[in-house]
Chain A
Amino acid sequence: MIHLQNICKRFRRPDGGWFDAVCDTSLSIAAGEVFGLIGFSGAGKSTLLRLINLLERPDSGAVIVAGQDLTALDAKALRRARQQLGMVFQQFNLMANRTVAGNIAFPLEIAGWSAADIASRVAECLEIVGLTDRAGHYPAQLSGGQKQRVGIARALAPRPKVILADEPTSALDPKTTQSILDCLKDINQRFGVTVVIVTHEMHVVRSICHRAAVLDAGRVVEVVEVNGAEVDARSALARSLLEAA
Chain B
Amino acid sequence: MEELTFAAALADLASMAPEIWQACRETALMLAVGLAAAITLGGPLGIVLYLSQPGQLFANRWVHGLLGWTVNLVRSFPFIILMVSLVPLTRLIVGSTIGPVAAAVPLSFAAIPYFARLVEQTLREIPRGVVEAAEAMGASPLQIIVKVLLNEARSGLISSLTILTISFLSYSAVAGVVGGGGIGDLAIRYGYYRFQTDVMVAMVLLLVLIVQIIQFVGNRLAARLDKR
Contacts and interface: CB of A to CB of B under 8 A. Distances in A.
Interface string B183-197: 000000000000000
A183 interface: no
Interface stretch (A107-115, A196-204, A214-222): A107-115
Interface size class of A (residues with CB under 8 A): 20 to 34
B151 interface: yes
B137 A110 contact: yes
Interface string B165-183: 0000000000000000000
A110 B143 contact: yes
Nearest to B226: A97
Nearest to A80: B138
Contact of B129 (A85, A93, A106): A93
A55 B228 contact: no
A44 B106 CA distance: 53
Interface size class of B (residues with CB under 8 A): 20 to 34
A53 B176 CA distance: 57
Interface string B14-27: 00000000000000
Contacts of A91: 127, 129
Contacts of A131: none
Interface of B: 127, 129-130, 132-140, 143, 147-148, 151-152, 154-155, 225-228
A81 interface: yes
Residue from A106, A140, A158 whose CB has the most chain B CB atoms within 10 Å: A106
B130 A93 contact: yes
B138 A83 contact: yes
Q: Give the 7 A-B residue pairs with the shortest CB-CB distance, closest first.
A: A82-B138, A93-B133, A79-B138, A93-B129, A83-B138, A87-B136, A138-B227
Contacts of B225: 97
Nearest to B154: A97
A96 B134 contact: no
